[in-house]
Chain A
């Protein structure tokens, strides 16, 4: 029973992390139909910005409790200019091109940004362990879990519900849904589609940066950090259906729980189990669990 509880807690924590990491990817695809490989770069930029600026904050003896706010602000402030610059200067002229061309451009940008990160932060690792341990621990099934993990779960819920509210309950969100459904008709109806694309790309990129910022206290922030997260994020959004918000949530929960089950009961298949779930889902639902019906165009 205790082990099952652990499986559940570990699964939920991992799912929350995965969902935060994958959310921006699915948002950008949903609105702009761009498979955004720079997602991994923004994750890394967020982690580096958070780790370096928060470390400086703590080193100067400022209140440790405010380090959580510093994590968030640092990631957003550093990532935002990159996001705006990339959308306005590089992606916008390419929207008329094929999706594959834009995919390749984002891949090229990913490689460039990997080197930019190294130029700015070097290759030595950054650590900020304090925020992870600062809030103490809680006990489940006789095991200690840092309370920081609860923050991750709360942040995942906040992001997911907040985005759903934004899309379905605000005027801007409803206009964005119109843009998702048909950009051409939306433009004809007077919606500034370009502005929505910019806002979506910036928001999606900031979500990736925030995922990196929230991960930074638990890892060594080193070059190459963004590579692994792209692969996992793609697995999650493909399972749920590219562009689907509930799909990303369900995909993250499925991957998190299945991985946790395998770690606890069959560790020898852990490496393979995430991709097995993805293959199984795609065999039954080739466009993912929550793929939206495509309007037929004449």
Chain B
């Protein structure tokens, strides 16, 4: 009898352990991919990972603002597998396969580099793994192909470029010439291509003085700055990011580059907090959407920006906002799919269907999955001009552009939309 009692206790303990393991297995495992090392880590990867840490901890504690106040995703706690995006595109493809096939993640949220996004999208499709790109900007992803499992909850570079073109046209109505300084790969080429095209539509006959395309992470830009100064264009456009952006400001500022021409830095917001007064007055800064200083004063932004700053002792930049909105969007889609499945854990296909064409609110305002067959977000955007006030860098002359004004309609490629004169619908 004593033996039977012991056996019963042992069986109960074993069952309890199995149940606990089962509960563990119910966690939602998310692969988070961002630059943790290399030149893109400090301005993008680390702020984005910090945002993921903050948002996931808040969601697991059920502390998100409604409708994000249910614990984790639909009650299931979130756990992450973090992968460093540094390294070659081939490495990233291998790492993605590892996330899916070895770590068995439920979904992947990540990727800053446009080159990596272009390479990962077909692999995600092949492996049938729900993947949300949170930052990369090239519009080619959903313009050159259609995907079932791939999404992007942040706007494309087209929005940044068209917004920049509209802003400089407003700021300099008599603009006659432009010049560019962009990195020589998908992001830089697409950004300049859209900006140049938009300016040619807005100002017929505008002259392109020079288009400089140095290597990514080149670091030394004296010759390019001389070429731009010599070109004497009315406007200089640059989509430089990471350490390259900071080097451009440090090298161009003392040479008067930003004073000689109206200079628009489409990702300049990431340098604001670090370089501050080093950015000359009169420089136009973008934040790749309504993020950071351009974020609306809504309850999601109050929760996110205050919580982030309190935890990490620095304000969130646009990469942080994009990561936060990527996780929040997927959470809503997951819970919508779970509800539709009668409370059962949703499949990747069900989460994807729920996110298609969804509209949700985040710290950056309204996100509409309106293009790319419902897989690509559009948002409003904003630009402003720097002005040093009492030693603190501020943004003045801020202008906001509605989503429809800076994004193509569904089914129209960015270049065709710009060439059409920014027509929306028939």
Contact = CB atoms under 8 A, between A and B. Distances in A.
A258 to B, nearest CB: 11
Contacts of A114: 37
A127 B246 contact: yes
A146 interface: yes
A264 B243 contact: no
A263 B212 contact: yes
A143 B255 contact: yes
Given A220-B246, A263-B212, A267-B212, A17 B220 contact: yes
B222 interface: yes
Contact of B227 (A124, A215, A264): A264
Contacts of B256: 144
A270 B213 contact: yes
A271 interface: yes
Contact of A3 (B86, B212, B218, B230): B230
Interface residues of B, number: 41
Given A219-B247, A224-B37, A224-B38, A127 B226 contact: no
Interface in A1-34: 2-3, 6-7, 9-11, 13-14, 17
Contacts of A133: 253-254
Contact of A223 (B38, B218, B222, B254): B38
Nearest to A123: B41
Contacts of B37: 114, 118, 123, 223-224
A220 B243 CA distance: 5
B250 A129 contact: yes
B226 A220 contact: no
Contacts of B222: 10, 13-14, 145, 149
B246 A125 contact: yes
Contacts of B184: 271
Nearest to B215: A271
Contacts of B254: 132-133, 137, 144, 146
B46 A124 contact: yes
Contacts of A263: 212, 214, 223-224, 226-227
The CB with the most chain B CB atoms within 10 A, among A7, A141, A223, A225, is that of A223
The CB with the most chain A CB atoms within 10 A, among B211, B213, B222, B247, is that of B222
B226 to A, nearest CB: 5
The CB with the most chain A CB atoms within 10 A, among B213, B227, B278, is that of B227
* Consensus secondary structure, chain A interface: helix
Contact of A222 (B41, B218, B255): B41
A132 B246 CA distance: 14
A143 B42 contact: no
A127 B39 contact: no
B211 A267 contact: yes
A294 interface: no
- Counting chain A residues whose Cβ lies within 8 A of the other chain, the interface size class is 35 or more
Contacts of A127: 246, 250, 274-275, 278
A143 B213 contact: no
Given A125-B243, A137-B255, A263-B227, A270 B214 contact: yes
B226 A218 contact: no
A14 B224 CA distance: 11
A228 B223 contact: no
Nearest to B251: A218
Contacts of A215: 219
A144 B226 CA distance: 9
Contact of A10 (B86, B226, B242, B278): B226
Contacts of B278: 127, 129
B226 A143 contact: yes
B217 interface: yes
Contacts of B224: 263, 267
Interface in B272-317: 274-275, 278
Interface string A72-86: 000000000000000
A268 interface: yes
A259 interface: yes
Contacts of A220: 39, 42, 243, 246-247, 250, 274
Interface of B: 36-39, 41-43, 45-46, 86, 184, 210-215, 217-220, 222-224, 226-227, 229-230, 242-243, 246-247, 250-251, 253-256, 274-275, 278
Given A132-B251, A225-B219, A267-B212, 6 more contacts: A123-B45, A127-B274, A218-B250, A219-B250, A223-B41, A267-B224
